[in-house]
Chains A and B, each alone.
Chain A
Amino acid sequence: AQSVTQLDSQVPVFEEAPVELRCNYSSSVSVYLFWYVQYPNQGLQLLLKYLSGSTLVESINGFEAEFNKSQTSFHLRKPSVHISDTAEYFCAVFTGGGNKLTFGTGTQLKVEL
């Protein structure tokens, strides 16, 4: 069975500092990988995804994630965060065998002035 691990439940960071949110997955077959973001009092929104091709994927608001097959990781990074990036971030993996998305437990990113 597939699983997703987000080791950090909370990540505090100052505005304009870089940030990395870690995600590791376990699966023996090909995977599709996703990051979703949940702003306060809202549902989840897709931030970025890896399906195939280039292992580095980017979002429109400056986040990027890199698929590392050997380390089974899909860490999310941003070189300079803004106060508006404060949200909860969920990593998710899809494999054909499970035929459904499996979500991590989430990382609360808190950006401070």
Chain B
Amino acid sequence: DVKVTQSSRYLVKRTGEKVFLECVQDMDHENMFWYRQDPGLGLRLIYFSYDVKMKEKGDIPEGYSVSREKKERFSLILESASTNQTSMYLCATEATAYEQYFGPGTRLTVT
């Protein structure tokens, strides 16, 4: 079974803090993704990566950055957290035929 783990299930941060969300996969997949999930908006793609040290902007990259130094790890960084970044963050990897495998999510609250 594909396993995608995220460093925290729940996270509370203050406005202006730098926040790191970590995602690790154990299946040697090249493609990895970060989404945020908000009620009524579904999933929106923030960033994705097709290889180590490679990144591409998704639909809503503003206020976020990413890092992929190793194939199995894909990090999402909020440089200066704001209250409108309170959300559920989901990491995913992609196997063949565009199937994506998701982690359990990190519910981030910015106060």
Closest-CB distance, B13 to chain A (whole angstroms): 20
- Asked if B104 and A42 make an inter-chain contact with CB atoms under 8 angstroms apart, the answer reads yes
Alpha-carbon distance between A59 and B11 when the two chains are bound, in angstroms: 34
Chain A interface residue count, CB cutoff 8 Å, equals: 21
Q: A51 in the interface, Cβ–Cβ < 8 Å?
A: yes
Contact with B along A21-62 (1 / 0, CB 8 A): 000000000001010100001111110010100000000000
- Asked if B40 and A32 make an inter-chain contact with CB atoms under 8 angstroms apart, the answer reads no
Alpha-carbon distance between A103 and B35 when the two chains are bound, in angstroms: 10
**Residue from the list A34, A41, A51, A103 in contact with B42, Cβ < 8 A:** A103
Alpha-carbon distance between A43 and B3 when the two chains are bound, in angstroms: 11
Give the residues in chain B near A90, CB-CB below 8 Å. 42-43
Q: A72 in the interface, Cβ–Cβ < 8 Å?
A: no
- Asked if A46 and B42 make an inter-chain contact with CB atoms under 8 angstroms apart, the answer reads no
Give the residues in chain B near A68, CB-CB below 8 Å. none
Given the interface contacts A100-B48, A105-B42, does A94 sit within 8 Å of B98 by beta carbon? yes
- Asked if A43 and B42 make an inter-chain contact with CB atoms under 8 angstroms apart, the answer reads no
- Asked if A106 and B42 make an inter-chain contact with CB atoms under 8 angstroms apart, the answer reads yes
Q: Which residues 87-111 in A have Cβ within 8 Å of B in the complex?
A: 90, 94, 100-101, 103-106
- Asked if B102 and A43 make an inter-chain contact with CB atoms under 8 angstroms apart, the answer reads yes
Closest-CB distance, B63 to chain A (whole angstroms): 20
18 contacts between A and B (CB under 8 A): A32-B97, A34-B98, A34-B99, A43-B4, A43-B90, A43-B104, A43-B105, A44-B43, A44-B102, A45-B102, A49-B99, A90-B42, A90-B43, A94-B98, A101-B45, A103-B35, A103-B44, A105-B40
Binding site for A on B (CB under 8 A): 4, 35, 40-45, 48, 58, 90, 92, 97-105
Given contacts A43-B92, A101-B100, A103-B35, 20 further A-B contacts (CB under 8 A): A9-B40, A32-B97, A32-B98, A34-B99, A42-B105, A43-B102, A43-B103, A44-B43, A44-B100, A44-B102, A45-B102, A46-B99, A46-B101, A90-B42, A100-B58, A101-B98, A103-B42, A103-B44, A105-B41, A106-B42
